[in-house]
Chains A and B, each alone.
Chain A
């Protein structure tokens, strides 16, 4: 499969290029993608940042859904991510397949593993099928397997993911953070990439739950409903704590687009655990 849209998107300076994504499309409606992991894409405890994993999942799910929804286009409805904690991860592979292709919806499942083929978790994504518009990317397919790398000379992370995106903390205990919107994190529709929304949601919940649990926690479950596109920015989070225990907590996160009259763009639930807890 050739993706004609890649000549226009993503631009040279873009999160997907710094992730050095390699994507492999297969004719049987499956997509596999890989990203290398370095210290800038890991959490304090050494696991892979959920924002990086969600971005990888979003690319796999989005490209797979777009290819099976042709000639229509797609809008992401929701993304769930269930992670297993693993350290010493050098590479993440995401394998996506179609669970359902209907007239109005597409559902994708993505399995995550590392360089040892160790299970890192799984994800699901739902998409609404839309009528194709002239400004939508054109997805062309062939029966051949194709591979594509988004890496460019000099791409890759030289600072932690959250810093690189410009994410700032306004009120840690309250889970209030802001993400400015730039071309670096926009998707092909001009809105914030779904994985970057996931990064913002997990970061907001982690900050609030760390305060509520009394110790640093890290997100392992994300359930995200995308309500509207975030195009103006900055995006601001608000968090409501739903549950805290000595070993984990759960919070509801709402994101609003401050540049669009505070429109609610995202509702999510995040579960985060104390990293040192045994399973």
Chain B
């Protein structure tokens, strides 16, 4: 785990995401709400908030929610599924996460995102599954009930998402990023949200469409970098183009980190 308590939260600060526990501390099925007020730096040229940003917010809120369910253990995300139902985003956005099932080995957390500026219209719906672990240094030491306030606006937090990630084009079907410190999570590995955002950007880069549905399996951590995302087509359907995205840590023997299946609307 990184030494400074705010280290590993750069991505959450980039989102401007405030997270608060809405269930009683110790609840069997914790709930978390998160609010994103600043959205403009995360929008595409079409005006919608990038799916990668929605995925990152969902991962942060639902991951935290799952972690609270297994204290004094903690969790690591193994699987994230999100379906974007609307591409008209006014904002602020609210992420609502609730634990559905707490097992000895895994936690399942449902989440949805609503648009507070559009009569609470549904923006996205998803599920996050986490594996339970028992970190050597113990779980993150958060005050309860938990409140993680979005930090004051940082200059770097106004960059567009592909710039924040410093995405490079390696080939028509492959993008890459360096694993710099602001993309690491509190455990020092590449943040799941950064992986999700890279998958989203890579899928849109190859299909020319808009990411509408994402399934991610986090298989191994990213520790070294550069991190590559390679896209292969699965096929075209009435609801869009379906692609498979492989994320690898090229500095760690090109280890397979994540598999994603993405549906992009045309």
Q: Give me the interface of A with B, judged by CB distance under 8 Å.
A: 77-78, 80, 82, 84-85, 99-100, 104-105, 107, 109, 119, 121-122, 124, 126, 128-130, 220-221, 223, 225, 227-228, 242-243, 247-248, 250, 252, 264, 267, 269, 271, 273-274, 277-279
Contact = CB atoms under 8 A, between A and B. Distances in A.
B122 interface: yes
A80 B81 contact: yes
Given A80-B81, A221-B213, 15 more contacts: A78-B129, A84-B234, A107-B217, A122-B234, A124-B217, A129-B105, A223-B81, A225-B100, A227-B108, A242-B85, A243-B86, A250-B83, A269-B127, A271-B263, A278-B238
Contacts of B126: 269
A77 B261 contact: no
B2 interface: no
The 10 closest A-B pairs by CB, nearest first: A277-B238, A279-B236, A243-B85, A84-B235, A273-B238, A100-B219, A248-B239, A227-B101, A128-B105, A223-B81
Interface string B75-87: 0001101010110
A21 to B, nearest CB: 24
Interface residues of B, number: 37
A134 to B, nearest CB: 19
Interface of B: 78-79, 81, 83, 85-86, 100-101, 103, 105-106, 108, 110, 122, 125-127, 129, 131-132, 213, 215, 217, 219-220, 234-239, 242, 244, 256, 259, 261, 263
A78 to B, nearest CB: 6
Nearest to B125: A242
Contacts of B132: 104
B105 A104 contact: yes
Contacts of A104: 105-106, 131-132
